[in-house]
Amino acid sequence: MTRGRVLRIGTRGSELALWQAGWVQDRLEEQHPDIVTAVEIIKTKGDKVLDSALAEMRDKGFFTREIEHALLDQTVDLAVHSLKDLPTELPAGLAIGAVTERGDIRDVFIPNPRNPLRTLAGQPKGAVIATGSLRRRCQLLHLCPGITVADIRGNVSTRIKKLDESDWAGIILARAGVERLGWEDRIGETLSAEKFLPAVGQGALAIEIRGDDERVRSIVSTLRHLPTEYATTAERSLLHRLEGGCQVPIGTFGRVVENQVLKLDALVGSLDGRTIVRGSIHGEPSNARGLGEELAEQLLSAGADRILEAIRASRPLSP
């Protein structure tokens, strides 16, 4: 690619999204000194519709659709997403060009500054903890059955501001986003990924490209991190088989461990946290997709199918 031809990077305009796009921009310019890049901010439906809970949204491309349109009409050359926001089925003509090395996959508890209890353990009965995720709600109620869970929307800084202005005991956020924006000093407790399963793709970035653009594919391939790619492929395969999204409580944790073994844990839970179906599988990283599908089938056979059917039948969805 000759200097002067700009590689356009599409992204949402939130503080975290801009950090992520800037990180990719810096890595690409470091590894390809002949490339000129520019970031293009694109507003998505998820940035405009702020009065509905994420769990009620029918659109699986809530945070990605408009950016993908820009890719397809060649307004931008690549897009940077939080992988957990990217649907498991991409529009025709688009592909994931690279999955970057994963940041910290874990969730964190951020206590209210006026709350002397810095961990989840010991929070009094009736304490309110806010989250916009059904996955977190389910696991919170399962681990701490005496608490109350409140819904919250907004970016990281907005959620922390809402916490500070509330009487909530605390909120749950992804550690990777908290770290990237410099809020580490607010963390009270980092939750074990094995005990409190993260979201599919949490902590990883996806670079989405046009499927036939081999030049851009070659450029972004230098950011691929194969262990993360294997782990998140298994997670996304599991999610696709379960037909999940923001509307259902699904947690999963894939990682390549010693001796190049891919291990995958997953759960499906009821909204009240009383019923949890968990499973685990391991195998060859090259069979990541198959391992995700197999574990999904195990969960469905163990009762996850009934949990998912009940949730979908009980929850109204916004268009």
Nearest CA to 252 out of 189, 298, 318 is that of 298
* Residue 295's pLDDT band (cuts 50, 70, 90): very high
Please tell me the predicted confidence (pLDDT) of residue 2: 37
DSSP assignment of 229-258: HHHHHHHHHHHHHHT-STTS-EEEEEEEEG
pLDDT, one tens digit per residue, over 209-229 is 999 999 999 999 999 999 999
- What DSSP designation does 260 have? G
Burial of residue 151 (CB within 10 Å: 0-12, 13-18, 19+) is: middle
Please tell me the predicted confidence (pLDDT) of residue 319: 46
Q: What is the mean pLDDT of residues 71-94?
A: 95
pLDDT at 52 over 70: no
pLDDT at 123 over 60: yes
Cβ contacts of 185 within 8 Å, gap of 6 or more: none
DSSP assignment of 69-130: HHHHTTS-SEEEEEGGGS-SSPPTTEEEEEEPPP----EEEEE-TT-S--SSTTPPTT-EEE
Entry pTM: 0.90
CATH of 1-102+204-224, one of 3.40.190.10, 3.40.50.11540, 3.50.50.60, 3.30.420.40: 3.40.190.10
Token duo for residue 105: 């996959």
Average pLDDT, the chain: 91
The CATH code belonging to domain 225-319 is 3.30.160.40
Domain ranges of the chain: 1-102+204-224, 107-190, 225-319
Q: What is the mean pLDDT of residues 155-171?
A: 96
**CA–CA dist 319, 145 (Å, integer):** 32
Please tell me the predicted confidence (pLDDT) of residue 187: 98
pLDDT at 64 over 60: yes
What are the backbone angles phi and psi of residue 128, rounded to the nearest 5°?
-100, 125
Q: What is the mean pLDDT of residues 131-153?
A: 95
More confident residue, 270 or 4: 270
pLDDT at 265 over 90: yes
Please tell me the predicted confidence (pLDDT) of residue 175: 97
Which residues are identified as catalytic?
Answer: 85
**CA–CA dist 45, 283 (Å, integer):** 38
pLDDT at 128 over 60: yes
CATH of 107-190, one of 3.40.640.10, 3.40.190.10, 3.30.1180.20, 3.40.50.300: 3.40.190.10
Q: Please indicate whether the domains covering 1-102+204-224 and 225-319 agree at the CATH topology level.
A: no
Q: What is the mean pLDDT of residues 251-272?
A: 96
Cα 115 to Cα 145, 163, 167, 185, 190, distances in angstroms = 19, 11, 9, 15, 17
Please tell me the predicted confidence (pLDDT) of residue 106: 98
